[in-house]
Amino acid sequence: MKEYLITSGFLDRQRKLILTEDHLAWENGDLKGKEFTRLNKSDIVDFKHGVDRIVWNKLTVGRQFSVTLKSEKNQELKIRFSSHFGFRKENNQKYSDIVDDIWRFYHSSIVDNCLDKFYSKGEIEIQGIRLKNEGIELRRQTALIPWDKVSIKDYYRYFAIYSRDNSDIHSRVNYNEYGTETLWSAIKIILKNKQINSPQ
């Protein structure tokens, strides 16, 4: 189990985030006895996360951290907190640790299920990008990129999937969107398995 104390804004009180292997609880309420919203692991179908700059008069004064979980009923549980003017610098590490824990406790099994479908059916689609046994079919592209020609590169706000032979054949996948974590992880794992199993 992991617990985090989070202060969302200047005037907000500390709130507790509890992560266990079978559920998540976020203290987003203020009514006595109804402070916590709980999501069971079995109800969590996806999550997204991101960091945005807080800008005043063209000057960056802080960072806004966001983590959002989606339930199977399409409900969202949003966790927001920030750091301003050099205060709460520890929130950078806190954000990173929360994302890692959510991945470990909940999202890794979602990726595993997705890969099971890929290996049993030979094809899955995430965010309009099709992963097939033979390669990847990108959005608005008819050509298939064979796995041995697929590359991905990480940037600050997105990652790119592209053909090693022709970088004009590419798709950008924005972070802080549902499906991004699953797509990035699935491609990485498939590429790794293809390299391991390819004849030397």
Q: Tell me the domain boundaries of the chain.
A: 2-107, 122-197
Q: Whole-angstrom Cα distance, residue 172 to residue 157?
A: 10
The segments of the chain whose pLDDT lies below 70 read: 10-11, 86, 196-200
pLDDT tens for 157-174 read 899 999 999 988 999 999
- 161 touches 187 (CB < 8 A): yes
pLDDT tens for 73-94 read 999 999 999 887 767 778 889 9
State residue 90's pLDDT score: 84
Q: Whole-angstrom Cα distance, residue 184 to residue 199?
A: 25
Of the candidates 119, 144, 126, which has an alpha carbon nearest to the alpha carbon of residue 134? 144
- The two tokens of residue 44 are 């969590």
Q: Tell how strand 158-163 and strand 23-27 pair up.
A: unpaired
Classify domain 2-107 by CATH number: 2.30.29.30
- 103 touches 84 (CB < 8 A): no
State residue 32's pLDDT score: 77
- 69 touches 77 (CB < 8 A): yes
The DSSP 8-state label assigned to residue 9 in this structure reads: S
